[in-house]
């Protein structure tokens, strides 16, 4: 029921601005394509909880935007991307007194998992300001899917220190450390805001901050499974360059 409600909401989010604009707005038929690149800070919503800091990775790919209408001062578009993204989680391994956990090998324990995806977001893109000469401010939101490519683990121990004398881990959830991704398809919702500078002769330069909330899990989440939840949360900062293929104004 939750997924059905979210699907209806996202469909309305994408369609309604275009429908309203189509009735009373100024028609546009502008198509732009380009490239984007940026940095992703990610973590996982595990239940049982896993203590984490943010995992850093790159993202980049192709962008396309179709501007269909200007409704009063609102420029209405559909914006999409096909990106490579390196996301995952990094564990914060500490004792109960917030000290590093020293392993039997004499090193402070470190663990991170990197999971690479092809991500495809599709957004309703609403902007206010200049269309072709100058700056505008925009917001966008919509669904995103992710297709698993591969994963890698970075750790410096073979057996975690779970000692109960105060030198071991305060968070003893370790099931995720040896467990490969089970669900290869990710999906969720994303929203962002940013600024755009446009020139008729050069193109469009966009700078954006975005947040993605995963609705799917990377592990099984039935009563028989260890984790009840294992979903992504991503903070993305990226820059985009678009050039016009077709322009009506």
Residue-level pLDDT at 27: 86
Assess contact for 238 and 37: CB atoms under 8 A: yes
Flag whether the pTM goes above 0.85: yes
Peptide bond into 48 cis (omega under 30): yes
Q: What is residue 22's predicted lDDT score, i.e. its pLDDT?
A: 46
Cβ(158)–Cβ(47) below 8 Å: no
pLDDT for 71 equals 86
pLDDT given for residue 9 in this prediction: 52
Q: pLDDT tens across 197-216, in order?
A: 999 899 999 999 999 999 99
* H-helix or E-strand spanning residue 6: helix 2-24
pLDDT of 4 reads 52
- Reduce the DSSP state of residue 195 to 3 states and report it: strand
**Is the four-CA dihedral 116, 122, 124, 129 of positive or negative sign?**
positive
Q: What single-letter DSSP state applies at residue 162? A: -
Q: What is the pLDDT of residues 18-56, one digit of tens each?
A: 554 445 568 888 999 999 999 999 999 999 999 999 999
Taking 70 as the pLDDT cut, the residues of the chain under it are 1-25, 249
The pLDDT value recorded for residue 12 is: 52
Q: What is the mean pLDDT of the chain?
A: 92
| CA–CA distance, 52 with 45 (Å, rounded to integer) | 10
Q: What is the pLDDT of residue 247?
A: 84
């Amino acid at each position: 029921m939750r997924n059905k409600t979210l699907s209806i909401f996202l469909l309305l989010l994408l369609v309604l601005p275009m429908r309203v604009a189509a009735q009373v707005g100024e028609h546009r038929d502008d198509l732009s394509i380009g490239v984007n690149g940026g940095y992703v800070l990610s973590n996982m919503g595990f239940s049982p909880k896993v203590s984490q800091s943010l995992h850093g990775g790159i993202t980049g790919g192709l962008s396309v935007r179709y501007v269909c209408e200007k409704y009063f001062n609102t420029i209405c578009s559909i914006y999409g991307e096909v990106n490579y993204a390196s996301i995952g989680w990094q564990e914060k391994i500490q004792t109960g007194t917030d000290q590093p956990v020293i392993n039997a090998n004499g090193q402070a324990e470190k663990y991170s998992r990197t999971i690479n995806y092809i991500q495809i977001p599709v957004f309703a893109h609403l902007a206010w300001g200049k269309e072709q000469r100058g700056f505008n401010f925009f917001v966008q939101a919509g669904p995103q899917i992710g297709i698993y490519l591969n994963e890698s683990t970075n750790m410096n121990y073979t057996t975690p220190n779970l000692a109960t004398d105060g030198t071991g881990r305060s968070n003893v959830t370790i099931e995720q450390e040896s467990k490969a991704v089970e669900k290869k398809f990710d999906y969720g919702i994303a929203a962002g805001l940013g600024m755009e500078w446009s020139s008729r002769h050069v193109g469009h330069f966009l700078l954006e901050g975005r947040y993605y909330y995963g609705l799917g899990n990377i592990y099984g989440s039935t009563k028989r499974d260890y984790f009840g939840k294992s979903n992504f949360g991503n903070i993305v900062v990226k820059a985009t360059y678009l050039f016009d293929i077709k322009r009506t104004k």
